[in-house]
């Protein structure tokens, strides 16, 4: 789960981590700074994030940094989240106010994302419900639907925490089941399959999506219409859509204009008649710095432009080596996402990616077992295998679509680059089963790489999970 709104522990003491990790919590000083290896003397210190903590490192003198994507991470939000929500609801983008849309008899579905996202739902809902009540909407006509997509259901305690205990107790709350009988047909996908959605959402007169705008590897950006597709869609529709479009040209992080994955998601949301969205915009520390509300496309686009101001940057050329962090992703398959821009956009083919990963619950065994099966049958040409598998509408492992997307990108990126994972949460066996190399510390990973590449260009992404490199060329998954 990515962490919700909050500070990053300013002023806390330095932690000396095991396995050679030396970590600085934000606002603290270094205790026992890392020493350069005797084999080379480093010339400048940089950092990436390991969880919420700064992990300092140094680079060899023969390495040249092309881009160090350090942003204005110290910029703090000027308003509280409820204040931002109130401001957004008072001036929605390309839409009337919600209080003008609803009436006493309106059936309302509040569709919120699940615990895989950082959206501070409990801080958004009270103000949103006040706006609905100002228009006459009655609490007995309001349903809250958790848009699980194809994810597992949340336990009661997590639901109450996400929504707020009072709201959880007062309103009808349900979790979407993508395999349930009774999902309602709303039209056809462009690929021919039937689009079906949650019946509570389908029956509602007013459908409101609550989510977050962050870079997304296939959709360009998260948030917006994704609350419907995959959020409350059927498993078969999500499978058909994701497997067909993920390998297609244009379906990559930050791209919307020529992205068929994104356009199909929007079309499904329009078929579902999504009325209104409320989406959060973040700074690189995962603090909410703005909220947009209104029309599903126009408000989303406005939020994207504001998001780009926080973490988009021009990347003039790929490097031999990219050093990145999985932060703010800390859950199993989600930690693979930050490898995607590092590999496909920032690193030369045949180059190396070093990623620092916090993975507090480890990698799920079914995911690792799927990699075992793939590599035992297909030890070579795994990138081509990944593309061909998705294009033939096959899954690597039955069930969770996010597992399959993680496998797809892991295979594609590992075929393109040498990937090294640095982690104290994952052991060497788990990392090698993914097809990656393991290092117990970032210093060891860099030193090993410097022996192979004494002269190298480097890109550095301190917060790799929310970066948006803007490049001249689009990635080609099939090359």
| Structural domain spans, the chain | 19-58+315-470, 81-309
Contacts of 45 (CB under 8 A, 6+ apart): 33, 56, 57, 58
The answer to whether 19-58+315-470 and 81-309 have equal CATH topology is no
Answer yes or no: are the C-beta atoms of 110 and 144 closer than 8 Å: yes
Q: What tokens appear for 24 in the block? A: 């600085």
19-58+315-470 CATH fold? 2-enoyl-CoA Hydratase; Chain A, domain 1 (3.90.226)
Among 326, 358, 352, 321, residue whose Cα is nearest residue 339: 326
- CATH top class, domain 81-309: alpha beta
Residue bearing tokens 């990944």: 386
Sort 66 into a burial class: Cβ within 10 Å, 0-12 / 13-18 / 19+: middle
Confidence (pTM): 0.86
Among 472, 342, 360, residue whose Cα is nearest residue 419: 342
d(CA 356, CA 339): 10
User: How far lies 119's CA from each of 6, 17, 71, 125, 225, in Å?
Assistant: 12, 30, 21, 11, 15
Q: What is the DSSP string of 140-209?
A: GGEEEEEE-TTSPPPPHHHHHHHH-HHHHHHSEEEE--TT-TTPEEEEE-TTSPEEEE-HHHHH-SEEEE
What are the pLDDT tens digits along the chain (479 aa)?
343 343 333 222 233 343 344 444 333 332 333 333 433 444 468 999 998 889 999 999 999 999 998 864 556 788 999 999 999 999 999 999 999 999 999 999 999 999 878 899 999 999 999 999 999 999 999 999 999 999 889 999 999 999 999 999 999 999 999 999 999 999 999 999 999 999 999 999 999 999 999 999 999 999 999 999 999 999 999 999 999 999 999 999 999 999 999 999 999 999 999 999 999 999 887 899 999 999 999 999 999 999 999 889 999 999 999 999 999 888 888 899 999 999 999 999 999 999 999 988 899 998 999 999 999 988 887 888 999 999 999 999 887 798 899 999 999 999 999 999 999 999 999 999 999 999 999 999 999 999 999 999 999 999 998 899 999 888 876 65
Partners of 202 in the β-ladder: none
Bridging pattern class, strands 276-282 and 288-294: antiparallel
Beta strands in 256-342 (DSSP E): 276-282, 288-294, 312-314, 319-325
Side-chain half-sphere exposure of 114, counting CA atoms within 13 A: 21
Q: What tokens appear for 284 in the block? A: 């690189």
Element (H, E) at 407: helix 401-416
Q: What tokens appear for 275 in the block? A: 């009325």
d(CA 350, CA 409): 16
Q: What tokens appear for 470 in the block? A: 């803007």
């Amino acid at each position: 789960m990515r962490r919700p709104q909050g500070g990053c522990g300013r002023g806390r003491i330095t932690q000396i981590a095991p396995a050679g990790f030396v970590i600085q919590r934000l606002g603290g000083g270094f205790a026992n700074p890392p020493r350069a290896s005797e084999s080379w003397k480093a010339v400048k210190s940089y950092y990436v994030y390991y969880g919420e903590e700064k992990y300092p490192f140094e680079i060899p003198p023969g390495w040249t940094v092309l881009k160090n994507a350090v942003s204005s991470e110290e910029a703090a939000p000027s308003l509280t989240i409820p204040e931002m929500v109130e401001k957004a609801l008072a001036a929605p983008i390309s839409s009337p106010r919600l209080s003008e849309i609803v009436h006493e008899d309106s059936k309302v579905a509040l569709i919120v994302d699940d615990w895989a996202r950082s959206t501070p739902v409990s801080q958004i809902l009270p103000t949103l419900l006040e706006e609905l009540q100002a228009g006459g909407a009655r609490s007995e006509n309001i349903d809250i639907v958790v848009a699980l997509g194809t994810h597992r259901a949340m336990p009661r305690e997590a639901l109450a925490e996400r929504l707020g205990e009072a709201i959880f107790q007062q309103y009808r709350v349900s979790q979407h089941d993508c395999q349930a009988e009774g999902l309602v047909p709303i039209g056809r996908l462009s690929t021919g399959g039937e689009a079906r959605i949650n019946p509570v959402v389908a029956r509602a007169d007013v459908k409101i999506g609550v989510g977050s705008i962050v870079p997304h590897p296939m959709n360009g950006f998260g948030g917006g219409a994704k609350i419907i597709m995959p959020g409350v869609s059927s498993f078969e529709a999500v499978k058909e859509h994701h497997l067909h479009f993920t390998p297609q040209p244009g379906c990559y992080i930050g791209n919307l204009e020529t992205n068929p994955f994104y356009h199909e998601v929007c079309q499904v949301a329009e078929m579902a008649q999504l009325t209104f969205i409320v989406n959060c915009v973040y700074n690189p520390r995962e603090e909410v710095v703005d909220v947009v509300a209104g029309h599903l496309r126009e408000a989303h686009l406005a939020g994207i432009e504001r998001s780009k101001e926080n973490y988009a940057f021009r990347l003039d050329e790929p490097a031999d080596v990219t050093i990145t962090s999985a932060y703010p992703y800390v859950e199993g398959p989600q930690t693979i996402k930050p490898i995607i821009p590092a590999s496909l956009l920032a690193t030369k083919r045949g180059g190396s990616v070093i990623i620092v990963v916090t993975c507090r619950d480890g990698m799920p065994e079914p995911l690792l077992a799927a990699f075992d099966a793939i590599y035992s049958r297909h030890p070579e040409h795994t990138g081509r295998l990944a593309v061909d598998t998705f294009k033939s509408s096959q899954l690597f492992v039955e069930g969770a679509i996010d597992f399959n997307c993680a496998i797809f990108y892991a295979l594609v990126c590992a075929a393109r680059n040498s990937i090294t994972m640095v982690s104290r949460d994952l052991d060497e066996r788990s990392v090698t089963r993914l097809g990656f190399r393991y290092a117990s510390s970032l210093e060891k990973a860099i030193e090993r790489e410097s022996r192979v590449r004494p002269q190298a260009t480097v890109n550095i992404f301190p917060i790799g999970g929310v970066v948006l490199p803007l490049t001249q060329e689009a990635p080609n998954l099939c090359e």
